[in-house]
Amino acid sequence: MVLQIFLPQPHFVNNMKTKIKEYRAKLNLTQDQLANLVGVRRETIVFLEQGKYNPSLKLAHDVAITLKTSIDKLFIF
């Protein structure tokens, strides 16, 4: 008998919509540049833009401030 345990992954969600790519493009920032400005890896920005990563409040705030907008305009929950 095989026992399977499923652990929740609270930081990953399905299809959260964001406008990060749009705001990043307006400021002519690459994913790498944005990642460096907010202190994360480029892959984190990729996952955020794809809606595959649910950011912490601090990360959402840092991204919004860096992109000169607000959290509620950047993330569509």
Domains, the chain, with CATH or none: 17-76 (1.10.260.40)
Structure confidence by residue, pLDDT tens digits, 29-77 = 999 999 999 999 999 999 999 989 899 999 999 999 999 999 999 998 7
Which value, to the nearest 10 degrees, does the dihedral of the CA atoms of residues 13, 19, 21, 24 take?
-130
75 pairs with which residues across the strands? 18
Provide the sign of the torsion angle of the four alpha carbons 30, 34, 40, 44, taken in this order: negative
**pTM of this prediction?**
0.78
32-37's contacts with Cβ under 8 Å and 24+ in sequence apart are 34/63, 34/66, 34/67, 37/66
